[in-house]
Amino acid sequence: MTALRKPLALSLVLLLILACFFAPFLWIVSNSFKPQLGIFADVTPISWRTFLPLEPVLENYRTLFERTNILRALLNTAIVSAGQVALTLVLCAMAAYALTRIRFRGAKAVFVVILLTFLLPVEAMLVPLFQVVSGLGLNNTLLGVMIPWIASPFGLFLLKQAFEELPRDLEDAARIDGAGHVRIFVSVILPNVKVPLLTLGLVTFLFSWNSFLWPLVIAQSPDIQLIQVAIAQQGSPTQLPNWGETFAGATVATLPLILLFLLLQKYFTQGMAMSGIKG
């Protein structure tokens, strides 16, 4: 009897944890299908009515796509996220290769200094980043949104751990065949670290897609707004927010991330486990 109670208790705890994470998302989706006057009607006390629309309507989605520029914001976000993923993978992979496969004095110090940038909060870097990006003439451009974040300390750490696990024999065999650093990097190293590369790409895409503060600062033009900024700025500053459109926008913005995660979750969990265990 005791042996049966332990799995049951564990299942209940896991269901409770799942509910804590899933309930806010379910509430957002539910409210996106409720009329404006009924959105906050069933908030207290919490019941099944809070998470299920009694008479679902599509009015919020219709007005969202008619009144706002959300399709343009989605396209801008997709361009920025894809570009940031590509540039981050290239830069971090090259840096990780240099720090693990090329022996030079000060390599460990360089790696430690890069990791220390983890400690810098984004808010502390906003002003210098804005001055640098504006000085480069990238203010109000999609390149200006993505360029400060392509040098990822987490990406370098993840790929460096993966590169160090590769046997040196692969590199030595390629070198005997006359391969240089470029050929070894492209033909030997990268094909053997596909899982960490996919993991880094997924994490970078999630970070870029959900970014709000930096796009709000550097991209003031409505034509290059990203999705999170567009959702936050929908409506008029002199009027109360249209919560139905806000919840509908949040639902639309979340769907691509859910689909991407479901497609690549295997690589994501493998990569996270690898970075944690081998650190």
- The distance of Cα 245 from the centroid of its chain, to the nearest Å, equals 23
pLDDT tens digits for 142-177? Answer: 999 999 999 889 899 989 988 988 888 888 888 888
The alpha carbons of the chain give a radius of gyration, in whole angstroms, of 23
Taking the C-alpha atoms of residue 178 and residue 173, their distance in angstroms, rounded to an integer, is: 9
Across all residues in the chain, what is the average pLDDT?
86
Which pTM value belongs to this model?
Answer: 0.85
- Average pLDDT, integer, range 53-78: 90
pLDDT tens digits for 84-132? Answer: 999 999 999 999 999 998 888 888 899 999 888 888 888 888 999 999 9
Other beta carbons less than 10 A from residue 255's beta carbon: 10
Taking the C-alpha atoms of residue 12 and residue 17, their distance in angstroms, rounded to an integer, is: 9
The CA distances from residue 141 to 61, 147, 194, 217, 220, in Å, are: 28, 10, 31, 12, 9
| 8-state DSSP, 279 | -
Answer yes or no: are the C-beta atoms of 81 and 208 closer than 8 Å: yes
Taking the C-alpha atoms of residue 199 and residue 176, their distance in angstroms, rounded to an integer, is: 32
